Chain A
């Protein structure tokens, strides 16, 4: 019977990680509904980007208050998870504080976890106040209603609960460590700069009660972590994982360089080639893409879809967007959220139809993102520059504009006039190309 705990724990782990990996696979599949794009070149620059931006948080600190608070929570998350390793080993093998043999190193580690836990709670409280008390504008934009708003708060509550459980677990453990002549397997291990002040809470309780409490905290803590891990899939909090691949696969070209559509290059070359046989058979269908530009998520590339899953909905893009600041409908954050929502919808459709997407008479364009939003973009790259994890809402906007123009001829009328002018006169205005050097002789 003494192995019951260990077996239960093993089952819990298998369920927790199993469900998690199942969902990760779903994300992987959904991302690969996008078209292929090569982002494997120049690995050294890519690793550098990832180290600097995801690991080093270099873009977070552009806004110092949020940046520093975020670094605390991030460090807390990463470092406290070292503790997770001990919890898993203890849980599986029925040991207790298996790493205690490290002596002073162990003590220092536990002490630093405790301090970080308190800092995380503090940071989370400030985050909560910024979001719900001060009501920073970017957290109250129209797209932040309903689940996106609740999601942000859930994460904060979750972190407070997890950190509190960690400290309570240590405090009760410390209490049992201090029982004269020792209690059960509670060896003296760890320094507890924070939970020593919580420990008196257990004074006067029977040791057996404290033991049950310790174990309860331990179980709740690890269960909480597993639940939290599985919550990621449904949440904007997925960025804690995807920020890494997202910064690795981000576009390395200068921000002003829009991608080249090779399918168009082929056609234009053929059009301009004087030697081409005008009566030749049309090119093989395989050469011609089914669509120019993007009207739905499957027309976007996989990096754009990865972007959508990585988006943290922090709204820095939107708060720096000139169109948004002047009251226009465009919100780069909404572009990313819409893309993710539509991708999820397509994914569910595929799951429900045994692996095949059954057309649902909906598209990302129109049903989620309107042409008005797309045409408000000045392509200034402020959103791309701002994003702490190198997402490019602009690339999605551009691909959808391409669809509007090349597939639907649905550009605003003045733009059609501009394009006609370029075509006929080689300038966006109605001037004759032969007059191009007139300025030389004018006053």
Chain B
């Protein structure tokens, strides 16, 4: 253990009779995927630096059921949802933050009808609120002057109309934010949504993530910023497919901020 991440669990908090300001919903990708784990840690470093009182569910967290629902398995989705709601309600969770737009969308929009009512925020919106409240400062650091383009995750953008928070954060890094020809409401999917992440694509003449990477490379960025672990994987694969990994990096906004602050 080379770094000191402070990651309390809800169970530990409860044992101490404490309620954190926010519950960090890590998500399956954030917990298990090697690339996404880096995003999780970057976000935790920022939370630690900003002295945010937070806790994770740890081993008590389970898949939100999003991919099951989008694959058409409403039974499995609702079983997952009800189990998670039971745990969340037992801890009297009020506010949830997550770095995964799929978890965000499901927890925010699809859990209420099953009895789970929480204030759910995406990590970019949460970081923006920390910034606005003066609890977090963002400087350019190593990214000063770099060209960055932001790929809108469908489940953050079109699905929930969050377009500005991630862009506001990127601009704080003193970089040149360049927009792809399709962005915001007109953004193009990375190809992973709707449970596509877990299956092969149907026959066609191109992969969606390659098409989207072409959109991004067209504006000649140094960095493609993402706000979703799945988009991150898809865009990273796309950049590799185009053999551009030496010159173009794909990074989550939490990583950009954590790295800029040398956290």
The reply to whether B26 and A327 contact each other, CB–CB distance below 8 Å, is no
The reply to whether B208 and A322 contact each other, CB–CB distance below 8 Å, is yes
Interface size class of chain A, counting residues whose CB lies under 8 Å from the partner chain: 35 or more
The reply to whether A261 and B198 contact each other, CB–CB distance below 8 Å, is no
- The verdict on A419 contacting B76 (CB below 8 Å), with A322-B191, A380-B193 known, is yes
Stretch from A91-99, A186-194, A218-226, A424-432 that touches the partner: A424-432
- The verdict on A325 contacting B31 (CB below 8 Å), with A268-B79, A378-B192, A380-B189 known, is no
In the bound complex, CA of A254 to CA of B101 (Å)? 13
The reply to whether A380 and B71 contact each other, CB–CB distance below 8 Å, is no
Count contacts on B: residues with CB < 8 A to the other chain: 74
The reply to whether A380 and B154 contact each other, CB–CB distance below 8 Å, is yes
- The verdict on A264 contacting B189 (CB below 8 Å), with A412-B199, A434-B59, A437-B58 known, is no
Q: CB within 8 Å of B: which of A220-268?
A: 253-258, 260-261, 264-265, 267-268
Q: State the Cβ distance, B55 to closest chain A Cβ, in Å.
A: 11
Option from A257, A379, A440 in Cβ contact (under 8 Å) with B194: A379
**A122 within 8 Å of B (CB atoms):** no
- The verdict on A427 contacting B201 (CB below 8 Å), with A271-B79, A402-B74 known, is no
Stretch from A5-13, A38-46, A172-180, A369-377 that touches the partner: A369-377
**B61 within 8 Å of A (CB atoms):** yes
The reply to whether A382 and B188 contact each other, CB–CB distance below 8 Å, is yes
The reply to whether A422 and B191 contact each other, CB–CB distance below 8 Å, is no
In the bound complex, CA of A268 to CA of B114 (Å)? 11
**B259 within 8 Å of A (CB atoms):** no
**A88 within 8 Å of B (CB atoms):** no
The reply to whether B196 and A378 contact each other, CB–CB distance below 8 Å, is yes
In the bound complex, CA of A12 to CA of B89 (Å)? 68
**B216 within 8 Å of A (CB atoms):** no
Chain A 180-223 interface mask (CB, 8 Å, partner B; 1/0)? 00000000000000000000000000000000000000000000
In the bound complex, CA of A405 to CA of B196 (Å)? 15
The reply to whether A264 and B74 contact each other, CB–CB distance below 8 Å, is yes
Chain B 20-46 interface mask (CB, 8 Å, partner A; 1/0)? 000000101011110001001100000
**B159 within 8 Å of A (CB atoms):** yes
Stretch from B62-70, B131-139, B142-150, B235-243 that touches the partner: B62-70
Option from B1, B56, B76 in Cβ contact (under 8 Å) with A423: B76
**B14 within 8 Å of A (CB atoms):** no
The reply to whether B208 and A378 contact each other, CB–CB distance below 8 Å, is yes
In the bound complex, CA of A442 to CA of B7 (Å)? 13
**A404 within 8 Å of B (CB atoms):** yes
Option from B70, B75, B208 in Cβ contact (under 8 Å) with A264: B75
The reply to whether B109 and A414 contact each other, CB–CB distance below 8 Å, is no
The reply to whether B7 and A326 contact each other, CB–CB distance below 8 Å, is no
**A436 within 8 Å of B (CB atoms):** yes
**B204 within 8 Å of A (CB atoms):** yes
- The verdict on A439 contacting B37 (CB below 8 Å), with A260-B113, A322-B191, A322-B211 known, is yes
The reply to whether A433 and B204 contact each other, CB–CB distance below 8 Å, is no
Q: CB within 8 Å of B: which of A394-443?
A: 398, 401-406, 411-412, 414-415, 417-419, 422-423, 426-429, 431, 433-443
Q: State the Cβ distance, B24 to closest chain A Cβ, in Å.
A: 11
Chain A 361-388 interface mask (CB, 8 Å, partner B; 1/0)? 0000000000010011111111011000
The reply to whether B109 and A257 contact each other, CB–CB distance below 8 Å, is yes
- Which 7 residue pairs across A and B have the least CB separation, nearest first? A256-B159, A379-B194, A401-B72, A426-B62, A327-B205, A327-B204, A380-B189
Interface residues of A (CB under 8 A from B): 253-258, 260-261, 264-265, 267-269, 271-272, 292-293, 320, 322-323, 325-330, 372, 375-382, 384-385, 398, 401-406, 411-412, 414-415, 417-419, 422-423, 426-429, 431, 433-443
Q: Can you report 14 A-B residue pairs in the complex whose CB atoms are below 8 A from each other?
A: A258-B70, A320-B186, A326-B207, A327-B203, A328-B201, A378-B194, A380-B193, A405-B73, A406-B75, A411-B73, A423-B76, A433-B59, A437-B9, A443-B2
